[in-house]
Amino acid sequence: MHARYSGELGLRAPRCCVSIGSSYGLLWYDVDFLSFPLAVTGMPTALITGITGQDGSYLAEHLLAKGYRVCGIVRRSSTTPYERIAHLIDDIELFSADLLDQTSLVDAVDAVKPDEIYNLAAQSFVQTSWTQPVLTGEFTALGVTRALEAMRKAAPKARFYQASSSEQFGKVVETPQSENTPFYPRSPYGVAKVYGHWITVNYRESFDLYAVSGILFNHESPRRGLEFVTRKISDGVARIKHGLATELRLGNLDARRDWGFAGDYVDAMWRMLQSDTPDDYVIGTGSTFSVQEFCAAAFGAVDLEWRDYVKQDERFFRPAEVDLLVADPTKAKTQLGWTPTVTFEELVRRMVEADMDRWAQRRG
């Protein structure tokens, strides 16, 4: 049996504190009027690894709106890469920890005492996983074990979400891909995610932990990193339209992906952890489009013809490609009541508009 938070959702205490770790441990260093741990107010507490990433920022917003106390793990850096969560910084608590460092993870979980842990942190760029395969394994595979161990030691009654990936299906053995489709990863990243997936299942079965994997297909947004193809295209379109570039260099235009909106997918993560029984789910739209179709829609959004600007470049091809991904999200729809709300066309339009605005502001 799994203990569950029984407080009321929707209640939030005022807050303006940011706690952050230091080399001397976890310290409150910027407390204005709320100097006690927010957990005592009865709100559920979530701890997000990867809170500075695309999904972490949307999930933090989603949980704050539901009345959660939201805590996040950030790794030490000589700069503060908090661009995506800058607007939330007064409403969340940040703790210094690293997926490579077991002690820091245990300390963070122990300090926060979360009801829910969302393990989103990873080396998430597939192309980099071929040039940094060992690091990718440390972050994206063993990092999951470290996060699970931290929960087992410091908060065994918490619920754990693992960010699994459609890259695990890789060279797909059936289409569409569901929870029952065997894995055939095609990159060091995909291999690492398969490990993360199975260690989550294993900890659930070995230690009776509430631990689930969400196998999420590609999800995008204006907050997507610039190296991923959708954002590279929307940013490239905006720079070309503003007269700042004359071409866009891409790799394989034939690859097909099931692209959804990241804001919808963090809702699916939350829904998984509200279920009475821990289980794994595939999350995607059920539609698939090629990179070329994404280009056509993105250039078309500003009345340009993609063929006039896109050039293929060997540098962006991969040693092994994932040709086709498309989800069968039936289980999530029927058991979690989850459905995507943003169409492919709307997603492309939002991303291009955001980059058009961003470049317009930069140019003054």
Instruction: Please report how close the Cβ of residue 73 comes to ligand NAP at its closest, in angstroms.
Output: 6
Six-digit token pair at 246? 């004359």
> Is 167 one of the catalytic residues?
yes
Residue 32 contacts by C-beta under 8 Å, 6 or more apart in sequence?
16, 17
The most distant pair of C-alpha atoms in the chain lies apart, rounded to whole Å, by 60
Kindly tell me which residue out of 57, 96, 124, 234 binds ligand F7E, with binding defined by CB under 6 A. Answer: 124
Kindly tell me which residue out of 12, 62, 66, 75 binds ligand NAP, with binding defined by CB under 6 A. Answer: 75
Question: Would you count residue 318 as binding ligand F7E (CB under 6 A)?
Answer: yes
Question: Would you count residue 270 as binding ligand NAP (CB under 6 A)?
Answer: no
Out of 68, 82, 118, 189, the active site residue is 189
Site for ligand NAP in 174-193 (CB under 6 A): none
Our CB check for ligand NAP shows the closer of 56 and 263 to be 56
Nearest Cα to Cα of residue 347 among 225, 218, 197, 165: 218
C-beta nearest to ligand NAP: residue: 53
Site for ligand F7E in 54-113 (CB under 6 A): none
Binds 98: which of ligand F7E, ligand NAP, none (CB < 5-8 Å by kind): ligand NAP
Question: Would you count residue 89 as binding ligand NAP (CB under 6 A)?
Answer: no
Binds 56: which of ligand F7E, ligand NAP, none (CB < 5-8 Å by kind): ligand NAP
Kindly tell me which residue out of 139, 160, 183, 270 binds ligand NAP, with binding defined by CB under 6 A. Answer: 139
| Binding-residue pattern over the window 108 to 137 for ligand NAP, x denoting contact by CB under 6 A | ------------xxxxx-------------
Q: By CB under 6 A, how many residues form the interface with ligand F7E?
A: 23
Distance CA 234, CA 291 (A): 12
Binds 197: which of ligand NAP, ligand F7E, none (CB < 5-8 Å by kind): none
> Is 165 one of the catalytic residues?
yes
The four Cα atoms 209, 54, 66, 31 give a dihedral, to 10 degrees, of 90
> Is 189 one of the catalytic residues?
yes
Kindly tell me which residue out of 26, 38, 291, 354 binds ligand F7E, with binding defined by CB under 6 A. Answer: 291
3-state secondary structure 156-203: CCCEEEEEEEHHHCCCCCCCCECCCCCCCCCCHHHHHHHHHHHHHHHH
Kindly tell me which residue out of 250, 273, 327, 347 binds ligand F7E, with binding defined by CB under 6 A. Answer: 250
Instruction: Please report how close the Cβ of residue 166 comes to ligand F7E at its closest, in angstroms.
Output: 5
Binds 139: which of ligand F7E, ligand NAP, none (CB < 5-8 Å by kind): ligand NAP
| Binding-residue pattern over the window 151 to 190 for ligand F7E, x denoting contact by CB under 6 A | --------------xxx-----------------------
Residue 97 contacts by C-beta under 8 Å, 6 or more apart in sequence?
21, 49, 73, 74, 75, 104, 105, 107, 108
21 φ, ψ (degrees, to nearest 5): -80, 165
Question: Would you count residue 126 as binding ligand F7E (CB under 6 A)?
Answer: yes
Site for ligand NAP in 26-65 (CB under 6 A): 49-50, 52-56
Chain CA centroid to CA 211, Å = 17
Which residues in this chain contact ligand NAP in the complex, by CB under 6 A? 49-50, 52-56, 73, 75, 77, 81, 98-100, 120-124, 139, 163, 165, 216, 218-219, 225
| Residues designated as active site | 165, 167, 189
Which residues in this chain contact ligand F7E in the complex, by CB under 6 A? 124, 126-127, 165-167, 217-218, 227-230, 232, 250-252, 255, 257, 291, 316, 318, 321-322
